[in-house]
Structure 1
Amino acid sequence: MKKPSAPLLLESIRLVDGQAPLLHRHQERVDRSRHHYYGKGPSLKLAEVLETLDLPSSGTFKLRLLYGARVEKWEVLPYSVREVTSLRVVAADDLRYGRKYADRSGIDKLFNQRQDSDDILMVQREHLTDSSYANLALYDGSKWYTPAWPLLRGTRRAQLIDEGILQPTIIRLRDLFHFEQVRLINAMMDWTEGPTIPISRIAGV
């Protein structure tokens, strides 16, 4: 039975020439979220959903699925990687985004604090979490690390951890200067496509 407080959820799925390379990881997240809010109800099979949609057969696009007990809305949007060359640290102690909610108003309020920076670097209780739209990867000159406790555990992050490219670790704000750069990662960008920002371009540290 649906819980009264069940919110509208979102999946942003990368489409490349009509295929969804990370679909199984999106499915895992959908399963976890729906089980949390709906218990052992009928499953929502993303592969079956995609088969019913008129999707472009060439090019790179973003498929946005809004869902709850069922798919409520979908749209396909052209996608290009956002240019991000600077970040600003903002405190996000009160923000809760453990599931991929359609309502991003809390994140949007924090994003509006970026001043002259391109995006934000969210910190909870002095620990790094995410940017406004991506998980974080930090490079220390030899290895790549990712915060152990992001607000949302993204599908690309999960893939990169499984492949041994990223190592989860606790990263405090004061640890930033042990790193050379931070890369933004999400499902819509391949590993090498994510904006990479020098630590010197992070304001508010």
Structure 2
Amino acid sequence: MLLETIRCEGGEALHLPYHQKRLEKSSQVLGIHQKYDLQTLIAPPDQELYRCRFLYDANGYTIEYHPYTPKKIASLKLLICDTIEYPLKYSEREQLTALFEQREDCDDVLIVKNNHLTDTTIANIALFIEGQWLTPESPLLEGTTRERLLDEKFLALAPLRSEDIGRASKIALMNAMVGFIEVENGIII
């Protein structure tokens, strides 16, 4: 099944146009003809903060709401994996889970593919270099927050490599749930 993870807060589902766009693109790639309108389907249960999981395929959908507490991420382990593919947001994430399990004492991994930085297991990344936030040209997954921040010109695309980490004064993670947050200590091992 495919998945959209949507932040619900104050009784609203946030940034639905970006989730709808990705849902439609994924459906087209996989030949799913069923139409799902997130605006009419997502109804947060109350004003609290939730992680909404919208799971779907050609046969139907399910919606789950889970209370959300952000995880603290202060360290990332660089991990090379040239074979990973995650172009669509699937609910099954075996390869990402296997990489996450190799994080050792770090909070997550930063995946390097074909000598280029991509993503962590749960977020797109950005490096602050020479006064500008840059995000990898070729992420594993084109996240909705990344797309929104590119549209807003807050981020710029760049062919980031491992050696660019040393040029960065800050590193940030972004996804639908955390928005855009700087890694507290910026530690990459």
Same fold by TM (over 0.5)?
yes
Check the 8 A contact 2:170/2:182 in 1, yes or no: no
- Map of 1:168 onto structure 2: 157
Structure 1 gap segments, 5+ residues each? 1-7
Aligned positions, number: 189
Q: Deviations over 1:55-103 (max 9, x none)?
A: 2231211100111025432210111221011110011211110000111
- Map of 2:87 onto structure 1: 98
- Does 2:36 match 1:44? yes
Once the 2 structures are TM-superposed, how far is the Cα of residue 198 of structure 1 from its aligned partner? Answer: 4.3
Check the 8 A contact 1:181/1:197 in 2, yes or no: no
- Does 2:107 match 1:118? yes
Q: Deviations over 1:146-169 (max 9, x none)?
A: 111100000000111111111111
- Map of 2:18 onto structure 1: 25
Q: 2:123 aligns with which of 134, 146, 154?
A: 134
Structure 2 gap segments, 5+ residues each? none
Distance 1:197 1:177 in 2: 16
Distance 1:69 1:99 in 2: 15
Larger Rg: 1
User: Which runs of structure 1 show a deviation greater than 6 angstroms over 4 or more consecutive aligned residues?
Assistant: none
SS at match of 1:168: strand
Cα distance change on mapping 1:188 and 1:71 into 2, 3 Å: farther
SS at match of 2:83: coil
What RMSD over aligned residues (CA atoms) do the two structures have, in Å?
1.4
Once the 2 structures are TM-superposed, how far is the Cα of residue 195 of structure 1 from its aligned partner? Answer: 4.3
- Map of 2:188 onto structure 1: 202
Distance 1:127 1:82 in 2: 26
Check the 8 A contact 1:126/1:173 in 2, yes or no: yes
Distance 1:13 1:70 in 2: 21
TM-score normalised according to structure 2 size: 0.94
Distance 2:143 2:40 in 1: 22
- Does 2:174 match 1:185? yes
Percent of counterpart pairs with the same letter?
34
TM-score normalised according to structure 1 size: 0.87
Question: Mean Cα displacement is larger for which, 106-115 or 55-64?
Answer: 55-64
